[in-house]
């Protein structure tokens, strides 16, 4: 039986419920552009593929877009200004996150974050949530030239931690996480909350489901055997 060598985490929708602040920033950007605000429930469906995709989807008013609206670049600059202002107004850790990370750390497991969020937000958010100390490796949406579901960010994190990717557990909430874990060869553990993007995102996938990060910490030693 193989042992877990490291645990990698998605950020938005897995460790931090950031949707309320992302919604505020999206709606301030839309207001700048004389457009109507979007309800948080809609914005939740658009999170998971990075800030640029979020902004493009908000401009289009839908998740599936064939091509990016022409104004995306300008709107993204406005979104960056607003999200910087409201980054940690309402964002909170999901229940069990801190206790779970503490337990995993106590087991001696190296931990990392692999997120599609741009680095200019990832680092201050982790600091503000008092999580930075847990993660010697953080790969953001703009650390490399590609993002999840491309496997490269997960492979990069595993290599930075000096562990084989097949011995890594990746904990995530979305379709992009599923794609990245499968393509990289990491074991996907899914949380049932967060922003899956589409309800069918995990249909038919043999992922492990953990209700909370502190439960995962209890199960981690047997996870490859389960
Ligand atoms: O920026 C996003 O779209 C979401 O980031 P995540 O990869 O941490 O879920
Ligand atoms: Mg996520």
Domain tally for the chain? 2
Q: Is 12 in the pocket of ligand 1 (CB under 6 A)?
A: yes
Q: Which of 36, 57, 86 is the last residue of a domain?
A: 86
Known binding-site positions: 10, 12, 173
Q: Is there a single domain that holds both residue 199 and residue 97?
A: yes
pLDDT at 25: 98
**Residue 74, domain member (yes or no):** yes
Q: For residue 12, is it within any domain?
A: yes
Which residues span the domain enclosing 34? 19-86
Residue 217 lies inside a defined structural domain of this protein: yes
Give distance in angstroms: CA of 26 to centre of ligand 2. Answer: 17
Residue 184 shares a structural domain with residue 126: yes
Q: Is 51 in the same domain as 146? A: no
Looking at residue 226, what is its pLDDT?
65
Which atom of ligand 1 has the smallest separation from the CA of 116? Answer: 7
If asked whether residues 78 and 98 sit together in one domain, one would say no
Q: What is the pLDDT of residues 79-135, one digit of tens each?
A: 999 999 999 999 999 999 999 999 999 999 999 999 999 999 999 999 999 999 999
Whether the pLDDT of residue 1 is over 60: the answer is no
Q: Are residues 95 and 179 in the same domain?
A: yes
Residue 13, ligand 1, Cβ within 6 A: yes
pLDDT, one tens digit per residue, over 27-80 is: 999 999 999 999 999 999 999 999 999 999 999 999 999 999 999 999 999 999
| ipTM confidence score | 0.98
Average pLDDT of the chain to the nearest whole number: 95
Task: Give the pLDDT score at 224.
Answer: 81
Tell the residue nearest (CA) to atom 4 of ligand 1.
48
- As annotated, the active-site residues are 10
Instruction: Tell how far the Cα of 88 is from the centroid of ligand 2, in angstroms.
Output: 17
For residues 124 and 27, state if they share a domain. no
CATH value at residue 112: 3.40.50.1000
pLDDT of residue 172 exceeding 70, the answer is: yes
Annotated binding site for Mg(2+): 10, 12, 173
- Asked if residue 114 and residue 72 are part of one domain, the reply reads no
Of 32, 51, 86, which one is at a domain's C-terminal end?
Answer: 86
Q: Which of 45, 67, 86 finishes a domain?
A: 86
d(CA 183, CA 193): 23
Cβ of residue 44 lying under 6 Å from some atom of ligand 1 = no
**For ligand 1, is residue 125 a contact (CB within 6 Å)?**
no
> Are 79 and 121 in the same domain?
no
Residue 1 placed within a domain:
no
C-alpha 65 to ligand 1 mean position (Å)? 18
């Amino acid at each position: 039986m193989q042992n877990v060598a490291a645990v990698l985490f998605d950020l938005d929708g897995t460790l931090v419920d950031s949707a309320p602040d992302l919604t505020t920033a999206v709606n301030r950007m839309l207001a700048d552009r004389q457009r109507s605000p979007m309800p948080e429930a809609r914005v939740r469906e658009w999170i998971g593929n990075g800030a640029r995709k979020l902004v493009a989807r908000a401009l289009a008013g839908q998740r599936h877009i064939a091509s990016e609206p022409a104004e995306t670049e300008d709107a993204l600059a406005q979104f960056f200004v607003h999200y910087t202002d409201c980054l940690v107004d309402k964002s909170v850790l999901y229940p069990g996150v801190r206790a779970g990370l503490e337990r995993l750390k106590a087991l001696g497991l190296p931990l990392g974050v692999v997120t599609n969020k741009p680095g200019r937000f990832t680092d201050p958010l982790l600091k503000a949530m008092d999580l930075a100390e847990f993660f010697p490796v953080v790969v953001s949406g703009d650390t490399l030239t590609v993002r999840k579901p491309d496997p490269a960010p997960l492979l990069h994190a595993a290599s930075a931690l000096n562990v084989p990717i097949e011995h890594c557990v990746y904990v995530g909430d979305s379709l992009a996480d599923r794609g990245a874990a499968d393509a990289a060869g990491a074991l996907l553990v899914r949380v049932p909350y967060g922003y899956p993007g589409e309800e069918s995102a995990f249909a038919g996938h043999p992922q492990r489901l953990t209700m909370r990060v502190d439960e995962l910490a209890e199960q981690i030693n047997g996870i490859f055997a389960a």
